[in-house]
Amino acid sequence: MSMGNESGGLICRGIEIEGPIGEQKLWIAVLLQAVEDLQSNRLRAKHAAEEFLLEDKNDFETVCSAAGIDANAFRARLSRAYIKRQPALLAA
């Protein structure tokens, strides 16, 4: 059973709630997938994740904003963690 209103408010399906919270979770999942891809051995996915997470400006900031995450702080932490991993990746 679905419940909602025509003004774009929350839509309920059983105990699931879709709306602003669901959208935020979606964008968090997008960021998590990009971080997983950054750590993967799949070269295309890794390259796309590097570009998105470490170089892209507009899309990255838009996704972070939609996820409720500070883009600058998140990128700074990602960059530090990624740089620390690089020597281990080169040695492998």
Distance of CA 83 to the CA centre of its chain: 19
Statement: residue 66 has pLDDT above 50: yes
Q: Which helix (H) or strand (E) holds 11?
A: strand 11-13
Q: Which residues contact 60 (CB under 8 A, 6 or more apart)?
A: 52, 53, 71, 75
When the pLDDT of each residue in the chain is averaged and rounded to a whole number, the result is: 80
Statement: residue 3 has pLDDT above 70: no
The pLDDT of residue 16 is 53
Q: pTM higher than 0.75, yes or no? A: no
**pLDDT class of 70 with cuts at 50, 70, 90:** very high
The pLDDT of residue 86 is 64
Distance of CA 71 to the CA centre of its chain: 10
Widest CA span in the chain = 58
The pLDDT of residue 91 is 46
**52 by DSSP, 3-state: which?**
helix
Measure the CA–CA gap between 75 and 66, rounded to whole angstroms: 15
Model confidence pLDDT, tens digit, residues 14-38: 555 556 788 999 999 999 999 999 9
Amino acid at 37: D
Phi, psi torsion values for 78, nearest 5 degrees: -60, -45
